[in-house]
Structure 1
Amino acid sequence: MPTLILLRHGQSQWNLEDRFTGWVDVDLTAEGEAQARKGGELIAQAKIEIDRCFTSVLTRAIRTSWLALAAAGQAFVPEVKDWRLNERHYGGLTGLNKTETAAKHGADQVKVWRRSYDTPPPPLAPGGEFDFSKDRRYAGAVLPDTESLKTTLERVQPYWEGEIAPCLQAGETVLVAAHGNSLRAIVKLLFGLSDAAIIDVEVPTGNPLLIELDGDLRPKAARYLDADRATKLPEL
């Protein structure tokens, strides 16, 4: 039976500083490391044997996968990294403090940029501190200069269909250690959620979401391994 585990990375340094992070490669805090290890311990307690791991090319997700797999006693599991599992690109908001940005542009506008499905923030100007075009992780790729959840899903979906789904269809148990918005994109695809419904879905950090799938990769059952920190899941 195909089994998928979605694991959102633990707290990062810029989460702690209340800054828009997106594609900036910041590391986990000590709390974030503890959250990742806890996720791995929960996987071990549930006696889940993972066959393969997918993650982004950002350190906070990569280290979350390493810490979780090690805590689960499965550090040997093969891992694939790809930028298409990166967090949503926050465009011109990248690096800004969220509270200060709300004071400048208005809380309502910032809420639209952060939580609407298809309204992206202003684009990132080229050549600045957070211009990723010369980063060798993205060599040969056509990069966005901003993203909404909609456009995040549009780059996650082909990777899901071409790389992750075939492993699941082969009966593997797959861990995807990634980011809030790239994981929400996968949840939208799997559960067939509307554009409006996905807005209210939030994946908690460091809490593995276990999804059992049928042969057509439709969810049969889904639960968070830490019930005390669970958020509401879409109905099956």
Structure 2
Amino acid sequence: MERLLVLVRHGQSEWNLKNLFTGWKNPDLTEQGVEEATAAGKKLKEMNLTFDLAFTSDLLRAQHTLKLILGELGQEDLPTSRDQALNERDYGDITGMNKDEARQKFGEEQVHIWRRSFDVPPPGGESLKMTAERTLPYYRSDILPKVLEGNRVIVAAHGNSLRSLIMELEGLSPEEILKRELGTGKPVVYRLDEDGKVLSVEDLAEI
């Protein structure tokens, strides 16, 4: 029985392009983001991968990415679950702020701490640790059991919600996961054993 899990970060969004902290705000994909998502679908099709179930966040950029991928696979009607548990990290008071402007206002070091520490949230927002505390229970209760049943599952979400899943899948420390970069629109393909342990991982950003 194949146990397949594919994680993909949404394509470039309008706020990615503007270098803004996006969080739970809801911009759509840019033209480049549409191209990235479409290319992801083509790559998965080349690998002869199809899916039984899809999961995505409550945000448009992830949903649009998934729609474009499934369109390339001819699976537009795939059963799909949407949940806020897979939303991007909430950046709180710095949401919508340009990252360079934030550095000028709060200082380079402070912004770096907010962005790259595991458990220090920006004012009014979430740390990566807090993001994982809502993302991982959903993964364990809703996504992983479907994979272990033999369903081929794709998850389209966000850099930090997916980092939470990758941290669990690959057994990474907080320090290690902070160094893990996820390209926009680049699928990561996992094959799991009957216990949910990773047998193989293929990062399509490296192909």
Give 1 or 2: higher helix fraction.
2
CA contact (8 A) 1:20 1:90 kept: yes
Identity, in percent, stands at 45
Partner Cα separation in structure 1 for residue 190 and residue 13 of structure 2? 25
Q: Secondary structure at the match of 1:54?
A: strand
Partner Cα separation in structure 1 for residue 65 and residue 206 of structure 2? 20
Q: What letter is aligned with 1:115?
A: R
Between 1:72-81 and 1:97-106, the stretch displaced more is: 72-81
Partner Cα separation in structure 2 for residue 115 and residue 226 of structure 1? 22
Aligned to 1:136: none
Aligned to 2:169: 190
Q: Which ranges of structure 1 fall in alignment gaps of 5 or more residues?
A: 124-145, 229-236
Aligned to 2:178: 199
Q: What is the CA-CA distance between 1:194 and the residue it aligns to?
A: 1.0
Aligned to 1:151: 130
Q: Secondary structure at the match of 1:75?
A: coil
| TM-score normalised according to structure 1 size | 0.86
Q: Which ranges of structure 2 fall in alignment gaps of 5 or more residues?
A: none
Equivalent positions of 1:155-194 (< 5 A) are 155-194=134-173
Q: What is the CA-CA distance between 1:195 and the residue it aligns to?
A: 1.4
Asked whether 1:221 is paired with 2:200, we answer yes
Q: What letter is aligned with 2:46?
A: Q
Partner Cα separation in structure 2 for residue 213 and residue 61 of structure 1? 24
CA contact (8 A) 2:13 2:28 kept: yes
Q: Secondary structure at the match of 1:177?
A: strand
Aligned to 1:37: 38
Aligned to 2:80: 79
Between 1:1-10 and 1:72-81, the stretch displaced more is: 72-81
Partner Cα separation in structure 2 for residue 162 and residue 60 of structure 1? 24
Partner Cα separation in structure 1 for residue 130 and residue 160 of structure 2? 11
CA contact (8 A) 2:183 2:205 kept: no
Aligned to 2:52: 51
| TM-score normalised according to structure 2 size | 0.97
Q: What is the CA-CA distance between 1:9 and the residue it aligns to?
A: 0.1
CA contact (8 A) 1:2 1:214 kept: yes
Asked whether 1:61 is paired with 2:40, we answer no
Q: Give the root-mean-square deviation of aligned CA atoms.
A: 0.9
Q: What is the CA-CA distance between 1:197 and the residue it aligns to?
A: 1.1
Partner Cα separation in structure 1 for residue 126 and residue 206 of structure 2? 32
Q: What is the CA-CA distance between 1:196 and the residue it aligns to?
A: 1.3
Q: What is the CA-CA distance between 1:210 and the residue it aligns to?
A: 0.4
Q: What is the CA-CA distance between 1:226 and the residue it aligns to?
A: 4.2
Q: What is the CA-CA distance between 1:76 and the residue it aligns to?
A: 2.2
Number of residue equivalences: 206
CA contact (8 A) 1:43 1:225 kept: no
